[in-house]
Copies of this chain bind each other. A is one copy, B any other.
Amino acid sequence: MGSVSHDISLSPQYAGLTTNAKRMVATLDAACQWGNTSDGGMNRLTLNDDDKRVREWFVAETTKCGCTITVDAMGNIFAVRPGINNDLPPIAIGSHLDTQPTGGRYDGILGVTAGMEVLQTLHAADITTYAPLAVIDWTNEEGARFPPAMLSSGVWAGAFTTEYAHARTDASGTTLRDELKRIGYLGDVACSHTAMPLSAHFELHIEQGPMLDAVEQPVAVVRGIQSIRWYHIDVVGREAHTGTTPMDRRSDALLGAAEMIVATNKIVTTGPLYERQARATIAVIDSLPQSINTIAGKIRMSLDVRAPADADVAEVDRLCRQQFEAIAAARGLTLTIDCFWVSPALHFDPIMVDCVRAAAAPLGCTMELVSGAGHDSAYTSQQVPTAMLFARCRDGVSHNPSEYTRPEDVAASTEALLGAYLRYDDYLRRTTEGKTVAKKA
């Protein structure tokens, strides 16, 4: 691995340029001022008042470093610092500032603040890069409030229409568009890769898994993102009295659902699917009518299926459908399976991945991973060269208040990000300079 025919060397002008670990940690702390919880975690659902406040802070801080702000129709914020060749679209460093309802301080937030640290490093050293630099806060990456996840980078990439995305509702029925408008982030620039083009997209993210912790390295090279499908599962039985209805005359929707949850787990914890790291999870469940002495008549569940290979996700899909249907038939239940989101496995840009490798190697970091989680980079990679770096997180715990990345790992991963970014900027300089480039958009 690591051998490419392209020149990704770092130009001498950047010798000695490093990020500032202390400033970086301070920026990260500042970004966690709004929506933090007493257990040390974060609860900053997208487009709530805390998200509005952190956005305002992001805009103020990046403006101080000479950036121009663009907000698009999905509330994505692009803070752009000019380069030498402003006919080129910016090289972006992006991630997200929203969190899970019981989330941590690093998922997404590390990526945006590391981009801000790269920006501050260049600004403090008064360096003008070749291409412009964009630091991006993508809206609603988590999808915890407005499913599906990575909605706004998805719109930017053309995977969803703006109309579809605007009409997403939260649990209380409020639309995403209304919330964008309410907090003042419904921008008038179209959300698209043509209206707001990029040359490339880098993203630093916590691993959210245990592999770096196991090999005791702070940073990993991410080669791609695994295949993902999300489903709604509806199970309908018959409400009846728990005390009077004989056990053999029931259509108990919750019992059927429980058997499906157990079956789903078994599918991915045995045999070749387990060995090939397929994962399947049911995490959301709603039961009606929620009365202790009435057998559940209606269940709605989520299903989240992942594997490095598309074929394995398809196999989990097939087995779940087969077994769910058998359970439904045996229990007299009606079953509906709605696969509402498909994100195929993807492979990042080999030149950018090599830039990450070259930047990570001097830190002693050689681990290469396929991301288990979806990220905004999954969508940007559909339109522009994209790569990611992972930072080690303690015990691999994420989406949990105890999510933690040591300050030295924050520093190392930010340093690797800077190096990878500068190498790619140099690469663009070498391959573009002297050529006529038609500015996109």
| A residues whose Cβ falls under 8 Å from a Cβ of B | 100-102, 142-144, 147, 149, 207-210, 226, 228, 230, 238-249, 252, 254-255, 257-259, 261-262, 265, 268-269, 274, 277, 279, 281-285, 287-297, 302, 304, 306, 371-374, 396-400
Contacts and interface: CB of A to CB of B under 8 A. Distances in A.
A293 B397 contact: no
Contacts of A261: 254-255, 258
A284 to B, nearest CB: 5
Given A262-B262, A293-B143, A293-B373, A399 B285 contact: no
A241 B291 contact: no
Given A246-B277, A283-B287, A287-B285, A399 B258 contact: no
The CB with the most chain B CB atoms within 10 A, among A149, A247, A248, A399, is that of A399
A292 B297 CA distance: 22
A284 B279 contact: no
A396 B283 contact: no
Contact of A247 (B142, B279, B296): B279
A238 B247 CA distance: 33
A398 B295 CA distance: 10
8 contacts: A100-B291, A208-B241, A240-B399, A245-B279, A248-B269, A283-B290, A283-B294, A295-B399
A304 B291 CA distance: 10
Contacts of A246: 209-210, 277, 279
Contacts of A295: 281, 283, 399
SS of A interface (majority): loop
Which 6 pairs across A and B sit closest by C-beta, in order of nearness? A258-B261, A244-B372, A209-B244, A208-B244, A258-B258, A243-B373
B399 A294 contact: yes
Contact of A292 (B147, B240, B247, B258): B147
A241 B277 contact: no
Contacts of A397: 238, 240
Nearest to A284: B290
B241 A399 contact: yes
B279 A243 contact: yes
Contacts of A274: 247
Q: Which of A269, A285, A295, A297 has the most CB of B within 10 A?
A: A285
A227 B372 CA distance: 50
B306 A242 contact: yes
A152 B203 CA distance: 61
Given A210-B246, A244-B371, A245-B398, 20 more contacts: A100-B289, A142-B291, A142-B293, A144-B294, A149-B292, A210-B245, A210-B249, A239-B399, A242-B304, A243-B373, A244-B373, A247-B269, A247-B279, A249-B396, A258-B261, A258-B262, A258-B282, A281-B293, A281-B295, A292-B304
Nearest to A147: B292
Contact of A288 (B102, B242, B248, B292): B102
Contacts of A302: 292
A243 B208 contact: yes
